[in-house]
Structure 1
Amino acid sequence: MIKRYCSVLLVSFFLLIQAGLLSAGALDDAVRRGVLKVGTTPNYVPFEMLDKQGLIVGFEIDLLRAMSRALGVELELVAVPYTELLPGLTAKKFDLIGSGMTVTQERNLKLNFSDSFIVVGQTVLLHPRLAGTVSSIEDLDEAGYRIAVIEGTTGEAAARRFVGAAQLISLSSPEEGVRQVVQGEADAFIHDAPYNLIAMSRPQNSALLTLEQPFTFEPLAFGVKKGDYDSLNWINHFLNQIAQDGTYDSLHDKWFTDTAWLAEIE
């Protein structure tokens, strides 16, 4: 009886260990591996983008580097198209998503979001021919207008909601969206405010007009697999810590106040 009882305890012990390993969070896996793998789409200035050496840099990337240092691991960035971020997370190709992803109810059904690390909104870039004609997002809600958007983004969703009567042109990169407006192939481009603000500062885009006031409210956050609450708890505490110790403000100033980094970007 004693031997049988001990055997049951031993089996139960190993089953508990196995269950614990199976339910371990993505950050626990990263610590064991020594590498934090993050899925990102490096075309969202100034959050994640390629510099002239082909390295992925940006505000969110610096947050992720600070996160990996706090975990005591290396950071590995896995570059994928934006539409492949959610499937990649589900397939465990990376531990979390760090790619300027807006928290939406629809996305929240497929993954869990951390606390927001910044709030942005959608703005509009206009071709100069619309000067005096378009002064608000509502003015673009007509069948004759061609509006460039980026496929799979909240900019595309916002365009469908606010200017559904217009013809939408779904593209794969914001650079292409701006180019189409500059060359007159599209009347307007809808995208996140930080990107559009920086795009307007480039000489080749200086003739464009802008509706500067964002017409949506969009918190950006990191995404993890559904149910990975241990990782969420750690990330949220990390965000709170860097907000308190000045790290966040320093990085925010680097990318949103100082513009020296523009010279290093393609």
Structure 2
Amino acid sequence: MAKLIRAFFILWVLTLSSLVVAGESPTLDRIEASETVRVGLTGDYKPFSWEGPQGELEGLDAEMAQALAEDLGVRLVIVKTSWPTLMEDLKAGKYDIGMGGISVTQERKEHAFFSTPLLTDGKAPIARCEDASRFETLNGIDREGVTVIVNPGGTNEVFARANIRKARLVLHKDNASIFEEIAEGRADVMLTDAIETRIVAREHPALCAVNPNAPFTRSEKAYLLPKDGAWKARIDAWLAKMDESGQKEVLFSKWVE
């Protein structure tokens, strides 16, 4: 019965998509005219996207972006964006869809659409392993003498500013090197998404993810879209098709624990 209900749901999404896409869509018109789809990625957030040894982008959403381009029958163009400029770049029309582990927030929803959710995650600490037990709670983190480090412009900074009052808060612009600051003792703890803490802890033996299965918050991650209903319907239909075919599960199993 569950499989039958799921099949009817996928059919409903695809049917709805075809009806909506038949309407006006500036985004789809631009994609068709240029034969390209522009995907915004920050390139600094594992497992979603990061720069490889040759400067190429790797990760889950690097591959999802290519799958989307193939589904649309157009060429993929990666547009480098950043967490501080994510929304401004979308408003300026620099990319058609933002990928790369973007959290759904009410503030972002006021200016953009989101795809159907991809996964649920939340904020958790990562620290040097010998200090991990000190930082299991926000009260343990927010103490005088503790240095909390976060990357600016995204939900990590928002969460830290809302919860850190006594500890020293440091903004580090390069998210790709931020964990070295903790490992080298220039900062004590970072508050970021639990999914990232697990991956970083595997790559940095000196660092440990702190209670990643019990994060301080819960939020959904989805793809960021301009306020174009037909384009959103097309993306949701593509995700439904990826899910039904099993391709989404294959990619997520490869990159996400």
Which runs of no fewer than 5 residues in structure 2 stay unpaired?
A: 1-23
C-alpha distance in 2, partners of 1:48/1:132?
30
Q: CA deviation at 1:69?
A: 1.0
CA shift, 1:176, in A, is 2.7
- Paired position in structure 1 for 2:246: 246
User: Partner residue of 1:58?
Assistant: 59
Farther-moved stretch of structure 1 (164-173 vs 40-49): 164-173
Q: CA deviation at 1:177?
A: 2.1
| Aligned residue runs from structure 1 range 7-22, under 5 A | none
1:9 is matched with none
Contiguous gaps of at least 5 residues in structure 1: 1-22, 258-266
CA deviation after TM superposition for structure 1 residue 85, in Å: 2.0
Q: Is contact 1:31-1:72 (8 Å) kept? A: no
| Amino acid in the other structure paired with 1:248 | K
Match in the other structure for 1:127: 128
Of 152-161 and 133-142, deviating more is: 133-142
Partner residue in 2 for 1:77: 78
Counterpart code for 1:88: D
Which residue of structure 2 aligns with residue 211 of structure 1? 210
What is the alpha-carbon root mean square deviation over aligned residues? 1.9
Query: Does the 8 A contact of 1:119 with 1:217 survive in 2?
Result: yes
Specify the alignment match of 2:162 in structure 1. 161
The equivalent of 2:8 in structure 1 is: none
Tell me the equivalent position of 2:100.
99
CA distance in 2, matches of 1:107, 1:123: 22
Please tell me whether the aligned partners of residues 27 and 95 of structure 1 are also in contact (alpha carbons under 8 angstroms). no
Summarize the alignment of residues 176-255 of structure 1 with structure 2, pairs less than 5 Å apart: 176-202=177-203, 205-212=204-211, 213-226=214-227, 228-255=228-255
Structure 1 runs of 4+ aligned residues shifted over 4 Å read none
Alpha-carbon distance change, 154 to 131 in structure 1, aligned in 2, over 3 angstroms: closer
Equivalent residue for 1:264?
none
CA distance in 1: counterparts of 2:118 and 2:28, whole angstroms: 18
SS in 1 for 2:124: strand
Deviations 1:40-98 (A, max 9, x none): 11011110111122211211121121111111111100112222221111111221212
Aligned length: 233
- Deviations 1:120-150, CA, capped at 9 Å, x for gaps: 2222112345354333233112232110011
Q: Distance in 1 between matches of 2:125 and 2:159?
A: 11
TM-score norm. by structure 1 comes to 0.81
Compared CA separation, residues 225 and 197, structure 1 to 2 (3 A): same
Distance of 1:242 and 1:164 partners within structure 2: 44
**Corresponding residue SS for 2:158:** helix
In structure 2, the CA distance between the partners of 1:131 and 1:81, relative to structure 1 (3 Å rule), is closer
- Larger Cα Rg: Structure 1 or Structure 2? 1
SS at 2:55 equivalent: coil
| 1:93 to 1:231, Cα distance in 2 relative to 1, 3 A | same
Q: Distance in 2 between matches of 1:112 and 1:134?
A: 35
Secondary structure at 2:149 match in 1: strand
